[in-house]
Structure 1
């Protein structure tokens, strides 16, 4: 384990009924890198962090009425995590690795109007994860024309 001070940025924290199993599964299925685990006196996982590129996901147990696994609340998600692969990575192979590890693929890999190829998967406790990779760089004007949208930096009054 190496000390790693955090820079400015975002990370997501996901709660599981069985966080140790989830930690191992996320490494196997999605290729997340273990950064560290914090075990309590009984050997339970108190906190952990996994890396993917320059990002971190925190994996822990349910710890309050407001921090539950989808498995505990009828499969509902209040957020989903998007993970961007590096340009050139094989998203179809990534999807197959996840599927082989037991992920439920809820949207097969498909190239999107904005130039990314993406898929969505549920982990064993029901968290929804989206994975994408840019396969064609497009301008906002190009994806607006193809998708029927208007891209802006800010909302106008």
Structure 2
């Protein structure tokens, strides 16, 4: 495929963060959580850029921690929309070292959700709540 024929993603917001051990975090997010490894650009142990896609839509970017003014490892908080919260919860709950910080629940504003921390300390919430409809433009 040439650049002109590749599908173009619609504009969206992608969380981006850094990790002390980016390769291990990528493996965790793919093997345990269920993200898809779309691109990883690494030089040895240093991950310059990684893109992980969520199967139901959206994506994240991450890389190795660097000594600059960028985000510090373990400080991200992310919300991932999924239609199958119970399956994601069962998968991550069964993995060694996962810390569930909020059990499965049905919040008053709708949906179903739970929260966890990844091995780097980032806070992840998974839920079926897709937000309120956008106001007219």
Same structural fold, with TM-score higher than 0.5 when normalized by the shorter chain: yes
Structure number with greater Rg is 1
Q: Deviations over 1:15-52 (max 9, x none)?
A: 10000000000012210011111122x35321100001
- Please give the secondary structure, in 1, of the residue aligned with 2:109: coil
Question: Does the alignment pair 1:82 with 2:82?
Answer: no
Q: Distance in 1 between matches of 2:42 and 2:7?
A: 18
- Please give the secondary structure, in 1, of the residue aligned with 2:17: strand
- The answer as to whether partners of 1:29 and 1:103 remain within 8 angstroms in 2 is no
1:96 offset after TM fit, Å? 2.2
Question: Does the alignment pair 1:69 with 2:73?
Answer: yes
Unmatched segments (≥5 aa) in structure 1: 71-76, 141-152
Q: Which residue of the partner structure matches residue 90 of structure 2?
A: 96
Label 1:100 to 1:26 Cα distance change in 2 as closer, same or farther (>3 A). Answer: same
Q: Distance in 1 between matches of 2:45 and 2:98?
A: 27
Label 1:4 to 1:25 Cα distance change in 2 as closer, same or farther (>3 A). Answer: farther
TM-score for the superposition, normalised by structure 1: 0.71
Q: Distance in 2 between matches of 1:106 and 1:11?
A: 23
Q: Which residue of the partner structure matches residue 23 of structure 1?
A: 26
Label 1:4 to 1:126 Cα distance change in 2 as closer, same or farther (>3 A). Answer: farther
Q: Distance in 1 between matches of 2:11 and 2:77?
A: 21
TM-score for the superposition, normalised by structure 2: 0.80
Q: Distance in 2 between matches of 1:34 and 1:24?
A: 9
Unmatched segments (≥5 aa) in structure 2: 1-5
Query: What RMSD over aligned residues (CA atoms) do the two structures have, in Å?
Result: 2.3
Q: Which residue of the partner structure matches residue 125 of structure 2?
A: 130
Deviating above 6 A after TM superposition, structure 1's stretches of 4 or more consecutive aligned residues are: none
Q: Distance in 2 between matches of 1:109 and 1:97?
A: 13
Q: Distance in 2 between matches of 1:121 and 1:65?
A: 26
